[in-house]
């Protein structure tokens, strides 16, 4: 190795060290563990975590009713036997609060909706919303126990 190469490496070493440190920080940021929220408790007092309640797919023909929560921007679907699912989206659903109906769009063209599929809000004028809402996460809702106390 001649003198020119040694000087080049010596002068570029701070930049190379910075690049390596930034790479490790990027990997650490992408692989950090998300905190799992406690969604409720079993009758034995064992906490039920959100990751345990995640749902992969559901049949959209079995939806009985729906409700849009504007504060948390989640869509709550109600099925038979009062089973409920909360859906969060990748994007903001601008037209959902004005919707009178929902159109479920599966990329596989089936009756089952999963992550990555979209829900289109349909307004009271029977016009589809301009922006589809792409599903990010679907979580089953733990029913609240009726113990006579106010929460």
In tens digits, the chain (151 residues) has pLDDT values of: 788 888 888 898 889 899 999 998 888 877 765 566 766 677 677 777 777 788 889 999 899 999 999 999 999 999 988 899 999 999 888 888 888 889 998 888 889 999 989 999 888 766 666 778 899 999 988 776 665 555 4
* Rg of the chain, C-alpha, whole Å: 24
CA atoms within 13 A on the CB side of 8: 5
Q: Where are the domains of the chain?
A: 1-32, 38-140
* Cα separation, 111 vs 104, whole angstroms: 9
* Cα separation, 107 vs 105, whole angstroms: 6
| Closest alpha carbon to 129 in 137, 115, 119, 117 | 119
* Cα separation, 8 vs 15, whole angstroms: 11
């Amino acid at each position: 190795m001649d003198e020119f190469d040694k000087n080049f490496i010596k002068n570029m070493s701070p930049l190379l060290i910075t690049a390596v440190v930034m790479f490790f920080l990027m990997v650490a940021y992408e692989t950090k563990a998300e905190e799992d929220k406690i969604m409720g408790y079993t009758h034995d007092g064992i906490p039920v975590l959100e990751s345990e309640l995640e749902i992969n797919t559901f049949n959209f023909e079995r939806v009985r009713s729906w409700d849009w929560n504007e504060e948390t921007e989640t869509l709550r679907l109600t099925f038979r036997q009062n089973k409920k699912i909360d859906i969060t989206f990748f994007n903001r659903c601008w037209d959902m609060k004005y919707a009178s109906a929902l159109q479920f769009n599966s990329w596989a063209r089936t009756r089952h909706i999963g992550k990555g599929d979209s829900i289109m809000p349909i307004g009271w004028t029977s016009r589809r919303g301009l922006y589809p809402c792409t599903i990010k996460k679907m979580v089953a809702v733990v029913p609240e126990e009726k113990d006579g106390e106010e929460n």
